[in-house]
Amino acid sequence: MPVLKLTQDFINNSLHCPEGQSRIEFCDKEIPGLIIIVSATSSGGSFFLRYKNSTNKTSYIKISRTNEMTLADARKKAKLLKLEISNGADPSNEKRVQKAVPTLAVFYEDHYKPYAAVHKRSANSDNQLYKCRLESRFGHLRLNQITKTMIIGFHNELRESALAGATCDHYVKFLRHAFNLAIDWDMLKENPASGVKLFNLDNKVEHYLDATELETLMTVLKTGANRPVCMIAMFLLSTGARMNEVLSATWSQINIPTRTWKVPALNSKSKKVRSIPLNDSALAIISQLDTAAEFEYLFINRVTGNPYTNIHKAWGKIRNKAGLPQLRIHDLRHQYASFLVNSGRTLFEVQKILGHSNPSVTMRYSHLDSATLQAAANSASVMINAAMGGSAS
């Protein structure tokens, strides 16, 4: 273990492992602990700092390859490391801890995915986001190697690829949530997705039906050949329920005498049991169903004998026949909220029926048609005219 005052010339021209030895260490006189290790199987060497850790055991921390850093810079780095060590740090152990952090791929498959399957209704959507773009972009990296700069760059690239702003934001929200879980599970200290600005583009598309459009749609739904799907659509429009709630509805959840439908927590977006009041039109639809004596679920695909899991293809044919190609199935929930608001029901009542925990969400679904707004505006005229009449008298 030669001890000498290392020079850049010695490193450039005389750094080699003696014949017959597997490796050799050259110790620097100027910076105690700074060494160069040269092995017989590789050209050049590597700068290391040798030190005693908190348990008084000899540890090594690699600084750099000798062909990648000058001696002067290696000495500066060694001084900084020695200062950190004197203050209680253990860089070698910290490096081992850093290497123990899983890659995003391992974290997703072994930790996030099993957790989401139990705790998140959007687990399938998360899986699509991960498999579509995140796995190829970040899957090979350890969680602590993914930086905010990387995420911002990825976010911007998605937008430049003509992806909708809201869709781009979903990727950042996924990463933010995943990293927060990693922090909760002591796998990470900081969230690199925290503070990444979202595009927050206004994607609140609204498709509300006027009286003529509603009449046309109802005609198609009443006469359509695909009766089960038409009944599902009418039930959605009559209850304001979510698609998965309707497709998962069972006869045991329906209470005709009390005119209520109890949606279990498993099927509710809020993960809480909620009760949906059944109006006359909803009860009329239920009375037309012929599945009570034979099946557990209200709406059954007679071709398969199983409850429906998706009706989007059939719905596409229905809306096109009604001349409403832009009407999404979820718009029926919007329309229901519009019925309530335009009938004078309070937003609090609408919030409770729709099952929203936040009233700000209900505001998005509520819609006042022009006739209702005109009537509201006219109420001010009534007060003004009354006051003018009073003054005149």
Q: What is the CATH number of the domain that holds 41?
A: 3.30.160.390
The SS3 of residue 228 is helix
pLDDT, averaged in runs of 10, over the chain (393 residues): 87 88 92 92 88 83 92 94 83 62 92 90 88 95 94 95 90 96 91 92 68 94 94 94 92 95 80 87 94 93 91 93 92 87 81 77 60 67 70 44
pLDDT computed for residue 135 by the predictor? 95
Are 116 and 68 contained in the same domain? no
Are 361 and 220 contained in the same domain? yes
Domain assignment of residue 78, yes or no: yes
Among 136, 168, 184, residue at a domain's last position: 184
Are 71 and 154 contained in the same domain? no
pLDDT computed for residue 386 by the predictor? 75
pLDDT computed for residue 392 by the predictor? 43
Are 173 and 271 contained in the same domain? no
Are 335 and 224 contained in the same domain? yes
pLDDT computed for residue 99 by the predictor? 58
Q: Which two tokens stand for residue 242?
A: 């979510």
Domain assignment of residue 131, yes or no: yes
pLDDT computed for residue 284 by the predictor? 94
Domain assignment of residue 380, yes or no: no
pLDDT computed for residue 52 by the predictor? 86
Are 235 and 315 contained in the same domain? yes
Are 37 and 123 contained in the same domain? no
Domain assignment of residue 198, yes or no: no
Q: Give the chain's domain count.
A: 3
The SS3 of residue 285 is helix
Domain assignment of residue 306, yes or no: yes
Are 14 and 44 contained in the same domain? yes
Are 177 and 244 contained in the same domain? no
Domain assignment of residue 386, yes or no: no
Domain assignment of residue 152, yes or no: yes
Are 91 and 135 contained in the same domain? no
Are 314 and 250 contained in the same domain? yes
Among 99, 130, 146, residue at a domain's last position: 99
pLDDT computed for residue 341 by the predictor? 82
pLDDT computed for residue 393 by the predictor? 41
Burial string for 336-374 (b: 16+ CB within 10 Å, else e) reads bbbbbbbeeeebeebbebbbbeeeeebeebbbeeeeeee
Residue 231: which domain range? 211-372
The SS3 of residue 15 is coil
Domain assignment of residue 200, yes or no: no
Which CATH number do you get for residue 339? 1.10.443.10
Among 99, 126, 160, residue at a domain's last position: 99
pLDDT computed for residue 266 by the predictor? 77
Are 134 and 265 contained in the same domain? no
